[in-house]
Structure 1
Amino acid sequence: MLLSGFPAAEVEFDRTGALVGDRGAAVRALAADPAVTDLVVLTHGWNDDHLVARLLYSALAGSVRAVSGDRPGRRLAFACVLWPSRKLAEGGLAERLDLLRDLVPEQRLTIDAAADLVPALTARATARTAFAAALLSAAARGADDPEDASTQLFTLPGGTVMDRLGVDAAAHLLDFLAYYEMKARAGLIGVHGLAPLLATLAGPKLHLVGHSFGGRLVTAAANACPAGSLATLTLLQAVFSDDGFAGSFRRVVAEGVVTGPILVTHSAHDVAVDVAFAIASRIAGSDGFGAIGRYGAQRTAEAVAAELLPVGGTYRWRAGVPHNLLADRYVHGHTDVCGRQIAHALWSAIAAS
C-alpha cells in the first residue's frame, strides 16, 4: 500500500481496543522493513468514518510529500489507524439519544427510559431530574476526571445538572455524554490497543500524530509507553483538556516518553474542539475549562509558546516538551489540518528527532 508515494499500512481496532482484521500484521511488516527509518502513526478524530479518515490521511501525506524533499538516510512510512469514532449528533434530542444508544448499546433500555421522559421535560421538574439521573447511570464510569468537570457531573443530583445546563439542558447533557463516551473509548484504545502494538515495533523511530479525538488516543498511548520510546508526538486540534500535560498525561512530559518535540496546534477559529468544555464550565458553575486544540497546553511549565510557520520557516525545537503552535493563520476550522504549513512543522520535527 502506498500513500502519496510513501509505504503505508492500515491497522484497525474495535471499541475495546482489540485488533481486528489482520491484527496489526501489515504494520508490523512495514516496521520490520530495514529501509524504513521513521514510522508515522496517523490517528483520525471523532468526526470520521473510515472513508473520511482515509481521505484525511491521503491529504496529509500528500502535503508531507510536497514539503519533505530528500533527506539522505531517512525514509518515512505511514501506519494509518482506524477506530470506531463517531460524529456528534446533528438534529434534535431523538438523534442525540440514538447516538448514545449506539455508543453504549448495553445501556439501551436505560436510554429508552430517559427518552420516554422527553415529552414531560418542559413541564415537570421530576421528569428533568429522572431524565438526567437515567442518562448519568448509563455512562461508562472510569474516564471521569476534574479536567473536564466529569468527576463533578457524576456527583451532582440530576436536577442540579439540568438547572446548571440551562436552556437546551437535555441537548447539552446528551452532547457531553457523547463526548465523554468518545473520550473513554479513545483512551481505552490508546492504552490497551495502540500502546501494546507500538511495543512490538522494533526498528524505526516512532512518530505519533493524532487529530481531534485521535489526539487523545495517541496521547493516552504515549502515556502508557516506556520513557524514551517515542521520537515525536503531534496533536492536531486535539480534543482533551488544556490541562492534560499538567494532569492526566503529565507522565508524557515528566518522564521523557518523547525524545523529540511535542507539537500542539491550537486555533481560535476551531469552535468545535471546545464544545464539550463550554458545557463543562456550565456543569462546574465556573469558567476555566478549555480544549488543548483551542488554547494549547496550559499550566504546563515546560510548554513553549510558538507559531505555526509558513513552509520554509525555521523551528527551534526543544526535546520532550510541548510546543504550543498558534495556528490561527492557517487553521480555520476543526478539520483544517492537512495544509502544507502543518506538514512542514511535522516534517521539521521528524527531521530534528
Structure 2
Amino acid sequence: MITGQFEIEFTKDGLVHDDNQVVRLLDGLADSTDLLVLAHGWNNDKAEATTLYDTLITSLEVVGLPENGSGSRMAVMRVLWPSKRFALESLIPGGGAASATAANDAALLAALTQLEQDPVLLGADGSDPTRGNIVERARAQIEDLDTSADARREFVLQIRTLLDPSQAHEDDASREFLDLDPEKLFQKFTGEVPVLLSTGPGGAAGNTGGGAAFLGDLLSGAKAAARRIANFATYYTMKTRAGAVGQTGVAGVLGRLREKHSQIPIHLTGHSFGGRLVTATAAALPPSDAPLSLILLQAAFSHNGLAQRFDGQHDGAFRTVLGERRVNGPVVITHTKNDLAVGVAYPLASRIARDNAAALGDQNDPYGGMGRNGAQHTPELDRTEPLLRKVTPPHQYTFTHSKVFNLQADATITDHGDVANPAVAQALRDAIRLR
C-alpha cells in the first residue's frame, strides 16, 4: 500500500523551495518500508507532472504491490523541478518532410523562445531580461545566416553564452559543441539527420511493411542548422539543470533522510531528463549499505552515461554510480525505437563529433540516447531480463543487485511519454521488492 505521497519542489539551481515539504516527508516515513522517488522529465506545468505520477501510482496498485516485506508500505516523494519543453515538432518540423521550410522557420523561433525562458520553479514565468537580450542578438542574425559567416559566428557565440561550460562531457559531444569553430559547427549541422527507427517484424511506426525505416530531421541549410544548434543548447540547459537538482537538491534531501531513517530502501525513478536527475542524485550520494535502486524510464541522456571507457579512454559522466557502487540494488532501464524524442535528439551529437554519421542513433552510434538503446559499454549489464514484458500473462522479473537490466520495450512503450502503463509498473514493482 501507499503510506503517503509528498511533493517537494526545487528551484532551477537545485534548492528546496519550501523546507516544510521536506519536514513533512521526514516525519511521514515512520510507518513506511520503502521510499519511491519520482522525477518527471520535460514539462511546462505541474499538471503534466501530477498526471504522470498519479497514473504510475495507479498502475502500481493495479499490478499489485507486495502484501508484506519490501515495498508493502511505500511512501512516495514526488519531485517537481523547472524543466523545459523539448517538443518533437522542433526536432522534426513538418513531420520530417524535406520541403517543410516554413515549419523549420517556426521551429527555429520556438527553440529560441525556449532558450529565452528560464523559470525558477516549474510552471512559473521564466522571463529573464539578460537571457532575452542574448537570444535577441542571436535572433537578429537569422535572415543573414545563408549568406554571412559573421552572422553564423555571432549566432553560435550568443547561444554559447547561455550555457555552463563546466557541464560539458565527451559522452554526448557537448564539449565539442562548445569548442568547435562556429563555422565548422554550422557545417556539421547543415545536412539532414536521418534516424533508423525500427527493424524486424512490424517495422517502425507508419512502416507497415516491416524492416528498417528512416525518419528524422530531413531539412538542410543554414536555418535548419541554426534550429539544431538551438535544440542542442536546450538539451544542454536541461542536462545542466537536471544535474543541479539531482546532485544538490534531491541528494541533499535524501542525505537528511538517511540521518533519520538510515536503512530505509530508496528507489530512484526518473523519466526523460528526470532519468538524468535521479542518476545525478545517485552519483552524489556516498557509497552505503543502505538499499538504493535506480529505474530509468526513457531516460534522456547518453547511452554511455554509465559506461566504462566507452571510447577506449573516457568513462561516462555517471560511471561512479556503478564503479563505486553508489547504487547497490538493480539498475533497470527501459528503451525503445518508438521513442522519437530521444531517438532524434541524440543523433545531433553525432553530427557534432563525427565526420560520417550514417545510421544515426542506434546502439552502434557513439552518441545514442539511453531511452533508445539502453546502457552501452557497461560491464555490469545482465542479459537475463532483456524485455519489458506485457502484464498478460503476468511476469515476475529476476532482477539482481548491482546489475544493469536493459528492458527493450518496443512492444510495451509506444512513445516517449508512455512510461506510466502497467507494463512499466510491473518492472518497477519487481525492482522495489528485491532486497
TM-score normalized by structure 2?
A: 0.77
Q: Deviations over 1:178-212 (max 9, x none)?
A: 01000000001111111011011143211110000
1:257 positional shift: 1.6
- 8 Å CA contact retained: 1:49, 1:86: no
CA shift for structure 1 position 18: 0.5
Query: What is the deviation of 1:170?
Result: 0.6
Partner of 2:110: 95
Is this contact kept in 2: 1:269–1:328, CA < 8 A? yes
Q: Hey, what's the Cα distance between the residues in 1 that align with 2:107 and 2:398? A: 47
Deviation string 1:195-245 (CA, Å, 9 cap, x unpaired) is 011011143211110000000000000001121344211000001110011
Given the alignment, which residue of 383, 388, 413 partners 1:308? 388
Aligned to 1:10: 7
Which residue of 292, 296, 300 corresponds with 2:370?
292
Corresponding position of 1:82: 80
Q: Report the AA paired with residue 308 of structure 1.
A: L
2:137 matches 1:113: yes
Structure 1 residue 110, shift from structure 2 partner: 2.2
Q: How does 1:57-206 map to 2 (within 5 A)?
A: 57-73=53-69, 74-88=72-86, 90=90, 91-103=106-118, 105=128, 106-166=130-190, 167=220, 168-202=224-258, 203=261, 204-206=264-266
Distance 2:337 2:66 in 1: 34
Give matches, 1:147-296, under 5 Å: 147-166=171-190, 167=220, 168-202=224-258, 203=261, 204-228=264-288, 229-246=290-307, 247-285=316-354, 286-287=356-357, 288-296=366-374
SS in 2 for 1:333: coil
For 2:42 and 2:6, the matched residues in 1 are separated by: 21
8 A contact 2:2–2:73 mirrored in 1: no
Please give the secondary structure, in 1, of the residue aligned with 2:117: helix
2:95 aligns to what? none
Q: Which 5+ residue runs of structure 2 have no aligned equivalent?
A: 91-105, 120-127, 191-219, 308-315, 358-365
Counterpart contact for 1:128–1:159, Cα < 8 Å = yes
Number of aligned positions between the proteins? 348
Tell me, in whole angstroms, the C-alpha distance in 1 between the residues paired with 2:139 and 2:63: 51
Kept in 2: contact 1:230–1:257 (CA 8 A): no
How many Å separate the matches in 1 of 2:184 and 2:336?
Answer: 33
The one-letter code sitting in structure 2 at the alignment partner of 1:199 is G
Sequence identity of aligned pairs in percent? 36
- Backbone CA RMSD of aligned residues: 1.7
1:7-52 CA deviation, whole Å, 9 max, x = no partner?
A: 1110000000000133522222223x2x101110000001352110
Q: Is the 8 A contact 1:237 1:265 kept in 2?
A: yes
Question: Is the CA contact 1:243–1:298 (under 8 Å) kept in the aligned structure 2?
Answer: yes
Q: For residue 75 of structure 1, report the CA deviation from its aligned partner.
A: 0.6
Q: Hey, which bits of structure 1, 4+ residues long, moved more than 6 A?
A: none
Alpha carbons 2:14, 2:245 under 8 Å: kept: yes
Q: Secondary structure at the match of 1:36?
A: coil
CA contact (8 A) 2:400 2:434 kept: no
Q: In the alignment, which residue of structure 1 is the partner of 2:409?
A: 327
Q: Secondary structure at the match of 2:351?
A: helix
- In the TM superposition, residue 143 of structure 1 has moved relative to its aligned partner by 1.0
Partner of 1:336, secondary structure, is: coil
Inter-partner Cα distance in structure 2 for 1:5 and 1:227 = 28
Deviations along 1:311-336, whole A, 9 cap, x unmatched? Answer: 32132212112110111110110000
Could you state the TM-score of these two structures normalised by the residue count of structure 1? 0.94
SS at match of 2:266: strand
Alpha-carbon distance between aligned partners in 2 of 1:351 and 1:293, rounded to the nearest angstrom: 24
CA deviation string 1:237-284 (max 9, x = no partner): 001110011111111111212222110000111010133311111111
Residue 70 of structure 1: how far off its partner (Å):
4.4
